Amino acid sequence: MRKLLLLALVGLGAQLVDGSLGMAYGVTSTTLLLAIGTNPAAASATVHLAEIGTTLASGFSHWKFGNVDWKVVAKIGIPGAVGAFAGATFLSSLSTETAAPLMSIILLVLGLYVLIRFTAFGLPKGRLGKPLRKRFLAPLGVVAGFVDSTGGGGWGPVGTPAILASGRLEPRKTIGSIDTSEFLVAVAASIGFIIGIGSEGVNFVWVAALLIGGLIAAPIAAWLVRHIPPRVLGSLVGGVIILTNTRTLLRSDWIDAADGVRYGFYAVIYAAWAAAIAYSVIQYRKNQEEEKLIIAEAEAAAAAGEHPDEKSTAPAV
């Protein structure tokens, strides 16, 4: 019962992050399942089955808040489903001894990407309004879908930053469209895992626990996407993923590091993580102050233009 409550809370927290950041539900949930000793293929299958419900709820919530571009959903979601099915089939064929470290490496790389991407650069907003072409979205969908299945998460970490980096779709619609299209990916991956490992390889009680937490969080996250600072959240989530999967790798048969080596790595990660969070908070506050200053200057200029006795004779804009 205690474990089920923990899984529900993880599902809730992961969906809050995913729905407001456009990534990390699968990566966060799979990382926890691996940490408690779940078979890699079963962990990814459990998460993807839960995601069928959470992504459906999340997509609906994002649609209600106007966060979805349906053209983007179609262009990236269908190729993503193809890649996800292929990835699930591939992972199901690997032994646990091979799959566990492999998945941790994928998750670690994704965690590093999330941490660096959001800490250093935040969310790019240039070139908004230009169309996203199918020749860009289709290959991106295939790669993101494959990584998502083999890594137990990755649709958001691969797809969201790539679209944000293009600067052609505003952040809230990028996040909403990625979350909505993930429903197709979750369905395809689940089918692939059921074929590959069979339904007996999945703990459906765990699926239900993750699903319940995710369903509670989905509408809250769709609302939060308009208010929460993604830069800070990205730094927080990236650090959790890096720390947890580094621990898995250092304790694996591949490395089996001594205690002193492991603790040294943990100390470095904690220090870098704390610095990343602090930097993200500082940059976020700096950007907020700059925006306030720009608004104040604009309001002052407008007020000056409205009064003929002021020195400025420029007409109000």
Token couple for 160:
């969201």
**How many angstroms separate the CA atoms of 265 and 262, rounded?**
5
In the chain, where the domains are located: 2-306
Q: To the nearest 5 percent, what fractions of the chain are helix, strand and coil? A: 80, 0, 20
Q: What is the DSSP letter of 252?
A: S
**How many angstroms separate the CA atoms of 148 and 175, rounded?**
16
**How many angstroms separate the CA atoms of 110 and 71, rounded?**
26
Gap between the terminal Cα atoms of the chain: 62
Residue 213 CB neighbour total at 10 angstroms: 25
Q: What is the pLDDT of residues 253-300, one digit of tens each?
A: 777 788 888 899 999 999 999 999 999 989 888 888 877 787 777 777
Give residues with Cβ within 8 angstroms of 97, minimum separation 6.
253
Residue 112 CB neighbour total at 10 angstroms: 16
Q: What is the pLDDT of residues 41-91, one digit of tens each?
A: 777 777 778 888 878 887 888 888 788 889 889 999 999 999 989 888 887
On whether the CB atoms of residues 154 and 148 are closer than 8 A, the answer is yes
Q: What is the pLDDT of residues 129-179, one digit of tens each?
A: 566 778 889 998 898 888 878 766 678 777 876 776 666 777 778 888 888
Q: What is the CA radius of gyration of the chain?
A: 21
Q: Going along 210-283, which residue ranges are E strands?
A: none
Q: Phi/psi at 210 (nearest 5 deg)? A: -60, -40
* Average pLDDT across the chain, whole number: 76
Token couple for 203:
């703990």
On whether the CB atoms of residues 89 and 196 are closer than 8 A, the answer is yes
